[in-house]
Amino acid sequence: MRIVISLLLIFSFLEGIAQFDPSKEWFVLEDFFEQKKIKSNQIKGIIIYKSDKKDNEAFKRERKFVQYSFSEKGRLSESQKFVPMSRRIDTSIFEFKYEGDKLLSRTENQGRFHFKYAYLWLNDSAFKETKIDENTLDTNYVHRVEIQHQTDLKIKYTYYNSIGRPMKFEWVTFNSFNKIILQKESYSRSLSFVEDSFNYKATQLISKSKWNTVGRQKKTNWQFTYKNGYLDFIEQSEDNLLVSKFAILYNDKRLIKSIVKRDMREKTISIYKVEYEYYPTKK
């Protein structure tokens, strides 16, 4: 009986997963989406609008903030971020290409900077990353990355520079549900590191923390609260001081429709409105 109840609990957590992965940073140009949720809902695109206000002031005009496009398999294919300048809108664009489950290339266009990162998979445990300046067609670097499965649940990534010397190390540890519970990054010529840890209840993220010792040491923590299995509220603190609160609202498809952020330090409120474009339903 206890096993049946545990399985039902796990399935309810899986059903309640939102399309934004809470273990990752939101509203960036990199992938922070739950691929299965994007695919099952046939989401073709997401546009997020943002409006802000300071305490005792009215909300500013809503503006387009970020935009994402997806393949029919739920893969992020393009992301755009719109930054208002004094006389124009500055747009940054990332494009992603895949072969199967492997990333083949990432193209970044940000202002006058245009870079392409190409990934050549040598085998299942090694690949090369090549960075190319698309303005000059110069190769900025070629790095080799080796993947070592230290245990069934722990992987080590070693990054080698252009002359074959190890320069960066990354360790990733998973739980039995294939969720990352520890991720650590360090460099060969530095004692500094960045460590992310995640606390799950089955597949539901309860808390996460980031310990960054690069420069001034800083610890950031997030606490996640759920309602009916869906992410409802987030509290973010830095060095034990509460800095931000997030409330999550959903539409009738149980997809995120808006996020309300309260910044305790800046004394501002931001509203992120989420709109969707869907692929046609296949008959």
Asked whether 210 and 219 are in contact (CB, 8 A), the reply is yes
pLDDT top residue among 132 and 11: 132
Q: For position 101, what pLDDT does the model report?
A: 86
Interior angle at CA 134, CA 107 and CA 72, nearest 5:
20
Q: Mind listing the pLDDT tens digit for each residue in 151-177? A: 999 999 999 999 999 999 999 999 999
Q: Mind listing the pLDDT tens digit for each residue in 52-64? A: 999 999 999 999 9
The number of angstroms, rounded, from the C-alpha of 31 to the middle of its chain's C-alpha atoms is 5
Q: For position 18, what pLDDT does the model report?
A: 63
In this predicted structure, the answer to whether residue 1 has a pLDDT above a threshold of 70 is no
User: How far lies 211's CA from each of 6, 25, 242, in Å?
Assistant: 32, 15, 16
In this predicted structure, the answer to whether residue 215 has a pLDDT above a threshold of 90 is no
In this predicted structure, the answer to whether residue 203 has a pLDDT above a threshold of 90 is no
Asked whether 19 and 33 are in contact (CB, 8 A), the reply is yes
Q: For position 189, what pLDDT does the model report?
A: 86
**Chain position carrying tokens 């698309």:** 134
Mean pLDDT estimate for the chain: 91
What is 107-144 written as a DSSP string? Answer: EEEETTEEEEEEEEEEETTEEEEEEEETTTTEEEEEEE
Selection from 11, 71, 14, 13 nearest residue 39 by Cα: 71
Q: For position 120, what pLDDT does the model report?
A: 96
Identify any residues that bridge with 76 across adjacent strands, giving them in sequence order. Answer: 70
In this predicted structure, the answer to whether residue 283 has a pLDDT above a threshold of 80 is no
pLDDT band (50, 70, 90) for residue 88: confident
Q: What is the mean pLDDT of residues 23-49?
A: 94
In this predicted structure, the answer to whether residue 186 has a pLDDT above a threshold of 80 is yes
Asked whether 242 and 232 are in contact (CB, 8 A), the reply is no
CA distance 180 to 171: 10
Phi, psi of 28 (to 5 degrees): -95, 175
Q: For position 15, what pLDDT does the model report?
A: 43
In this predicted structure, the answer to whether residue 13 has a pLDDT above a threshold of 60 is no
Q: What is the mean pLDDT of residues 82-86?
A: 86
At 201, the amino acid letter reads: K
In this predicted structure, the answer to whether residue 138 has a pLDDT above a threshold of 70 is yes
At 88, the amino acid letter reads: R
Asked whether 254 and 237 are in contact (CB, 8 A), the reply is no
The Cβ-side half-sphere exposure at 121, using a 13 Å CA radius, reads 12
Asked whether 148 and 155 are in contact (CB, 8 A), the reply is yes
Strand spans (E) along 202-255: 204-212, 218-227, 230-238, 241-250
pLDDT top residue among 71 and 84: 71
In this predicted structure, the answer to whether residue 19 has a pLDDT above a threshold of 90 is no
Q: What is the mean pLDDT of residues 144-155?
A: 95
In this predicted structure, the answer to whether residue 123 has a pLDDT above a threshold of 80 is yes
pLDDT band (50, 70, 90) for residue 17: low
In this predicted structure, the answer to whether residue 22 has a pLDDT above a threshold of 80 is yes
Question: What is the 3 state secondary structure string of 187-206?
Answer: ECCCCCEEEEEEEEECCEEE
Q: For position 84, what pLDDT does the model report?
A: 84
DSSP, res 33: B
Q: What is the mean pLDDT of residues 229-240?
A: 95
User: How far lies 215's CA from each of 83, 194, 206, in Å?
Assistant: 27, 11, 28
